[in-house]
Amino acid sequence: MAGALLAGITGTLEKLPGLLVLVPAAIGMRGNIFGALGSRFSTSIHAGTFRLSRRFDTIVGQNILAASILSLVTAVALGLLTKVIAPMFGLDSVIGISDLVVVSGIGALLSSAVVMLVALFLASSSASHSWDLDNVNAPLVSAVGDLVTLPALFVGSLLVASGALTVSFALFFVIASLASLVWAMRGAPALVVQIIRESVPVLLGTGVVLIIAGVVIEHRINDFASYRTLLVLVPACLAAAGAIGGILSGRLSSKLHLGLIEPATIPGRSARRDLRFGFFLAIPIFILNGLLAQSIGYVFSFSSPGMIKVILISLIGGLIATGLAGVIAYYGTVLALRIGVDPDTYGIPLVTSTVDLAGAAGLVLAISWVGV
C-alpha cells in the first residue's frame, strides 16, 4: 500500500525534482530511529527493567525524549544533505533548500508521532504477552513508517514554493532542531545524552547513504514512471530487506548483551542459525512482494512489464539487499560491542541504511538484468 501511494504521486515526483531522493531517506530514518528505540526496549524487556510510565526521567521516558529530538534533528539534516549531495551525483535541478527542509520536517513531525505510538504499543504488548520484541519490532515499525511517511511527505510538498510561508516553516524547523540538540547535550538526563551522542553521528552517516539510495532511484525516474508497478516495489523491497536485517540485528544484539553468543570474527552456531533464517525467510517474502505489486498495479491500472519480470526484479533485488543485511547485522553489532557503544543504537541504523542503498541498487540492476 505504501508503494501504491508512491506510484500514485508520480506526477508530484516528476514536478518536484529531488523529492524522490528524499523518500528513501525519510522512510529509512523512521526505521533507523524507531527500530533502534524498539531494540533498546527489547533489551530492557529481556533484562527485566522495562516499565511504562508517564515520567520522563524513567528509561522509557528518556528513550521517548531522545527519539523525538533525533526525529527533528535528522529531518532538518536530511533536507540540507539532499540539497548538497544530489548535485554531486548529477542531479542539478533540485527544489530549493527551504522547500526540502519543510517537506522533510513536516514528514518527520507527522509520521514520528504515529510510529512512536506503534513502537510503545509493541513494547508494552511484548512485555505483557511474553513476545520476543526483536521478532516483531523491525518489520512492523518499518511498514508503519513507510505507510505514514509517504502521505506526510506529500502534505509537506503542498507547501513547496509558498514564498515567505515556506521560509518561515524552514527557519522554525532549523531553530527548533538546534535548540533541542543543545538542550539534549547540556541539560538532559544522562540516558538521553548517551543516546543522542551515540546516535547523531551514525544517523548522519546513514542519512548520507540513504540520500545516495534516493539518487540511484531518481536517476531511473523515467523507467519507474513508464512502469509504475515497479515504483510500487520500491518501499516494499527496501522495507522488507531492512526489516529482515533489523530482526537479525535485534536478535544478535540481545544475545550479545545476554552472553548467549560471543563477538567472534567467524559467526558461531547460534548466530549462523539466525543468519540462515533471515536469508531463507527472504525468498518467499520477495516473491510475495512481486505478486502483490503486480496485483496492486492491476487494481490501480498502473503500467507493468509483466508479472514474471516484476517477480524476478523483486526477488533479485531483495536477495542482494538481504545478503548484505546479514553481513552488516552481524559485523556491525559485533563492532559496536567491541568499541564500547550500545549495539541496539548502532545496529539497526547501520543495517537499514546500508540495505536501503543495496536494495535501491539491486532493484536498478535487476531491472536491467531482466531486460526492462
Write the single-letter amino acid at 185. M
Asked if 18 and 157 count as a contact pair (C-beta separation under 8 A), the reply is no
Q: With 90 as the cut, is the pLDDT of residue 34 above it? A: no
Burial class (CB in 10 A: 0-12, 13-18, 19+), 282: buried
pLDDT at 280 over 80: yes
Place of cell 530514518: 29
Q: Is pLDDT at 47 greater than 80 in this prediction?
A: no
Is the pLDDT reported for residue 32 higher than 70?
yes
Per-range mean pLDDT, top range of 45-54, 175-184, 215-224: 175-184
> What pLDDT shows up at residue 78?
93
Q: d(Cα 41, Cα 171) in Å, to the nearest integer?
A: 34
Percent with pLDDT over 90 in the chain: 21
pLDDT at site 73: 94
CA dist 195 and 65 (Å) reads 10
Q: Who has greater pLDDT, 78 or 138?
A: 78
* Amino acid sitting at position 304: S
Instruction: Kindly list the distances between the CA atom of residue 25 and the CA atoms of 65, 122, 299, 354, in Å, as whole numbers in the listed order.
Output: 22, 24, 28, 11
pTM over 0.85: no
Summarize the confidence of residues 319-326 as an average pLDDT.
83
Q: What pLDDT, on a 0 to 100 scale, did the predictor assign at position 190?
A: 83
Amino acid at 293: A
Whole-angstrom Cα Rg for the chain: 20
- The pLDDT of residue 347: 63
Q: Do the Cβ atoms of 366 and 352 come closer than 8 Å?
A: no
The CA-CA-CA angle for residues 222, 210, 303, to 5°, reads 25
d(CA 127, CA 31): 21
Highest mean pLDDT among 10-14, 22-26, 185-189, 314-318: 314-318
For residue 367, is pLDDT > 70?
A: yes
Predicted local confidence at residue 261, as pLDDT = 76
Q: How many domains does the chain contain in total?
A: 1
Question: pLDDT digit string (tens) for 107-147?
Answer: 999 999 999 998 888 888 887 887 778 777 777 887 888 78
Range 335-346 average pLDDT: 71
Query: For 9-23, 58-72, 223-237, 338-352, which range has the lowest pLDDT when averaged over its residues?
Result: 338-352
Could you tell me if 215 and 89 are in contact, meaning their C-beta atoms sit under 8 angstroms apart? yes
pLDDT for residue 336 is more than 80: no
The pLDDT value given to residue 312: 93
Looking up cell 531491472 gives 367
Residues 233 and 310 sit within 8 Å (Cβ to Cβ): yes
Write out the H or E segment, with its range, that includes residue 262.
none
More confident residue, 94 or 354: 94
Please say if the pLDDT value at position 348 is more than 70: no
Alpha-carbon distance of 72 to 180, in angstroms, equals 8
Average pLDDT, the chain: 84
Report pLDDT for 343. Answer: 66
Residues 180 and 327 sit within 8 Å (Cβ to Cβ)? no
With cell 504521486, the residue in question is 9
* Angstrom distance (rounded) from CA 111 to CA 113: 5
366's CB contacts (< 8 A; 6+ apart) are 312, 313, 314, 316, 317, 320
Give the three-class secondary structure for 22. helix
pLDDT tens, residue by residue, 58-76:
888 888 899 999 999 999 9
Choose the weakest-confidence range: 3-7, 68-72, 299-303.
3-7
Tell me the CB-side half-sphere exposure of residue 92, using CA atoms within 13 A. Answer: 1
Q: Is 275 helix (H, G, I), strand (E, B) or coil?
A: helix
How far apart are alpha carbons 211 and 207 in whole angstroms? 6
Rounded-to-integer distance, Cα 47 and Cα 38, Å? 14
Q: Which domain holds residue 333?
A: 2-369
Q: What share of the chain is helix, strand, coil (3-state, %, to 5)?
A: 85, 0, 15
Residue 314's pLDDT is 93
Please give the pLDDT value at position 285. Answer: 92
